[in-house]
Structure 1
Amino acid sequence: MDLALQLMVGFSVGMAVLLAAVLAGGHRRLELPWQSRLAGLVMLAGLAATQLGHLEFATAAEASPTRRYVVVVFLQSLGFYWLLLGVLRPEGGWRRIEWALAVAMLALALAIPLSWAVPVALALGAAAAAHLCVLVYRLRALRRWFALELKVLGLFGLMAVAVAASGLLARAGMGWYGYAWTYAALIALGFLLVGWLLLSVPDLVPKTREAVAVAYAQSTLARVDRDAMAARLRQLFEQEQIHRSESLSLATVAGMLGLSTHQLSELVNTEFGLGFPRFVRQHRVETARQMLIEEPRASVLSVGMAAGFNSQSSFYVAFKEQVGEVPGEYRRRRLAAAEPSG
Structure 2
Amino acid sequence: MLQMMVGFSIGMALLLAGALATGYRSAPLPWPARLAGFVMLAGLALTQWGHLEMATQAGDGLPARRYVVVVFLQSLGFYWLLLGVLRPEGAWRRLEWALPVLVLAVALVVPLAWAIPVALLMGTALAVHLSVLVYRLRALRRWFALELKVLVLFAVMALAVAATGLLAPYGVGWDAYAWTYTLLITSGFGLVGWLLLAVPDLVPKAREAVAVAYAQSTLTRVDREAMAARLRHVFEVDQVHRAESLGLATVADLLGLSTHQLSELVNTEFGMGFPRLVRRYRVETAQRMLVEEPRASVLSVGMASGFNSQSSFYVAFKEQVGEVPGAYRQRMLAGRGAADLPE
Interval of TM-score (by shorter of Structure 1 and Structure 2)? 0.7 to 0.9
8 Å CA contact 1:170–1:176 kept in 2: the answer is yes
8 Å CA contact 2:168–2:176 kept in 1: the answer is yes
Partner of 1:81: 79
Report the Cα offset of residue 324 of structure 1: 6.2
* Runs of 4+ with deviation above 6 angstroms: none
**Aligned AA (1:74):** F
**Aligned AA (1:130):** V
Change in Cα spacing, 1:34 to 1:239, as seen in structure 2 (3 Å) is farther
Report the Cα offset of residue 266 of structure 1: 1.1
Partner of 1:67: 65
Report the Cα offset of residue 131 of structure 1: 0.6
- Look up the SS of the partner of 2:209 in the other structure: helix
- Look up the SS of the partner of 1:64 in the other structure: coil
Partner of 2:260: 262
Change in Cα spacing, 1:254 to 1:94, as seen in structure 2 (3 Å) is farther
State how far apart, in whole Å, the 1-side matches of 2:73 and 2:120 are.
11
CA RMSD of aligned residues (A): 3.0
Partner of 2:54: 57
Change in Cα spacing, 1:320 to 1:76, as seen in structure 2 (3 Å) is closer
State how far apart, in whole Å, the 2-side matches of 1:107 and 1:98 are.
15
8 Å CA contact 2:164–2:172 kept in 1: the answer is no
Q: Which moved more, 1:81-90 or 1:320-329?
A: 320-329
**Aligned AA (1:77):** S
Report the Cα offset of residue 150 of structure 1: 2.8
Partner of 2:12: 15
Partner of 2:140: 142
State how far apart, in whole Å, the 2-side matches of 1:323 and 1:166 are.
43
Alignment partner of 1:318 out of 306, 310, 316: 316
State how far apart, in whole Å, the 1-side matches of 2:303 and 2:226 are.
31
Q: Which moved more, 1:40-49 or 1:162-171?
A: 162-171
Q: Which consecutive residues of structure 1, in runs of 5 or more, have no partner in the other structure? A: none
Partner of 1:36: 33
State how far apart, in whole Å, the 1-side matches of 2:322 and 2:56 are.
56
Alignment partner of 1:45 out of 42, 53, 67: 42
- Look up the SS of the partner of 2:62 in the other structure: coil
Change in Cα spacing, 1:323 to 1:116, as seen in structure 2 (3 Å) is closer
Partner of 2:116: 118
- C-alpha deviations, 1:20-56, integer Å up to 9, x for none? 2233333345333332222122111110100001111
Change in Cα spacing, 1:150 to 1:291, as seen in structure 2 (3 Å) is closer
Change in Cα spacing, 1:126 to 1:327, as seen in structure 2 (3 Å) is closer
Q: Which moved more, 1:57-66 or 1:9-18?
A: 57-66
Report the Cα offset of residue 301 of structure 1: 0.9
State how far apart, in whole Å, the 2-side matches of 1:126 and 1:69 are.
18
Q: TM-score, normalised by structure 2?
A: 0.84
Report the Cα offset of residue 76 of structure 1: 0.4
Change in Cα spacing, 1:225 to 1:338, as seen in structure 2 (3 Å) is farther
Q: Which moved more, 1:47-56 or 1:128-137?
A: 128-137
- Look up the SS of the partner of 1:142 in the other structure: helix
Change in Cα spacing, 1:271 to 1:57, as seen in structure 2 (3 Å) is same
State how far apart, in whole Å, the 1-side matches of 2:283 and 2:154 are.
35
Change in Cα spacing, 1:321 to 1:153, as seen in structure 2 (3 Å) is closer
Partner of 1:151: 149
Query: Where in structure 2 are the equivalents of 1:1-342 lying within 5 Å?
Result: 4-62=1-59, 63-139=61-137, 141-144=139-142, 146-172=144-170, 175-227=173-225, 229-254=227-252, 257=255, 259-292=257-290, 295-322=293-320, 326-328=324-326, 333=332, 337=336
Report the Cα offset of residue 132 of structure 1: 1.1
Change in Cα spacing, 1:119 to 1:327, as seen in structure 2 (3 Å) is closer
Report the Cα offset of residue 260 of structure 1: 4.3
Q: TM-score, normalised by structure 1?
A: 0.84
Q: Which moved more, 1:256-265 or 1:319-328?
A: 319-328
Report the Cα offset of residue 223 of structure 1: 3.4
- C-alpha deviations, 1:94-137, integer Å up to 9, x for none? 33322211222223223333333222211110110111121122
8 Å CA contact 1:119–1:167 kept in 2: the answer is yes
8 Å CA contact 2:69–2:108 kept in 1: the answer is yes
Report the Cα offset of residue 200 of structure 1: 3.4
- Look up the SS of the partner of 2:141 in the other structure: coil
8 Å CA contact 2:138–2:213 kept in 1: the answer is no
Report the Cα offset of residue 60 of structure 1: 2.5
**Aligned AA (2:42):** A
8 Å CA contact 1:143–1:208 kept in 2: the answer is no
8 Å CA contact 2:56–2:175 kept in 1: the answer is no
State how far apart, in whole Å, the 1-side matches of 2:289 and 2:142 are.
30
**Aligned AA (1:167):** G
Identity %: 75
State how far apart, in whole Å, the 1-side matches of 2:135 and 2:107 are.
31
Aligned length: 336
**Aligned AA (1:132):** L
